[in-house]
Amino acid sequence: MKMIDKENLKFVAIVWGLSVVLAGAAYNFVIVPQIQAKQTLKKQLAEKKHLYEFAQNMSDVKKRQEFNKDIEELRGELAKYVVNFENSSNLTFDISRIANEKRVSSFSIKGSDYSKSKTIETSKDIYKNHVKIKFNAGFSQFAAMLNALERHQPVFFIDDFKIKRAGNNDTNDNSVDMNISFLTKKGQEG
């Protein structure tokens, strides 16, 4: 009798083991994909609900006016950081004007190709352009120039700068190399 019980016990253990393996496989190959599909459908449903609510809100004239006002405010904020392509050539003149106001010497400006115009990752029509400027200035002139550039609208981004101390002690003019970038919008407004 003990032999029969051992054989039955082995058989039951094998059946249970196979059942657990089959249940695990069924879970991984049947249930998990359904759970993932359900999550995807929930996200799509939430997006559709949002679009539906948005469409309902746009049917209300007052809400549409509020929405248009918000869009105009956002465009105004964008104008602080991005210049239209047609106006981008004026930025080099703005930089030269700032240099004249801050009385830096030996000023030069040129387009930089260390990082050619690149599209911003989150936008199809906004490009980052680079300009390289060189000038000589004392510390206070340099600080005033840097401050004026960073406060300019549309914004200039100071990527990096190098200052070389003047070789002679007669003058406080240090040589400055500065890489500046700015954002340009190409394409039509809309």
Question: What does the block give as tokens for 62?
Answer: 């007052």
How many CA atoms are closer than 13 Å to the CA of 170, on its beta-carbon side?
1
Domain 83-185 has CATH 1.20.1300.10: no
Q: What is the pLDDT of residue 183?
A: 85
pLDDT at 171: 61
- pLDDT on residue 121: 59
Query: What's the number of CA atoms in the CB half-sphere (13 Å) around residue 99?
Result: 19
Bridge partners of 183? Answer: 82, 128
User: Residue 107: what pLDDT?
Assistant: 87
Q: Is 176:158 a contact under the CB 8 Å cutoff?
A: no
pLDDT value of residue 115? 45
Tell me what pLDDT residue 76 has: 83
**pLDDT at 58 (0 to 100):** 77
Residue in the block written with tokens 């997006």: 47
What pLDDT is attached to residue 41? 93
Q: How far apart are CA 152 and CA 155, in angstroms?
A: 5
Helix (H, G, I), strand (E, B) or coil at 131: strand
- Closest C-alpha to 154, from 80, 65, 46, 68: 80
10-residue block means of pLDDT along the chain (190 residues)? 76 92 90 91 93 82 84 84 80 87 87 56 75 88 88 86 76 83 71
Residue 119 confidence (pLDDT): 56
* Domain ranges within the chain, ordered by starting residue: 2-59, 83-185
Q: How much is the pLDDT for 172?
A: 67
pLDDT of 151 reads: 86
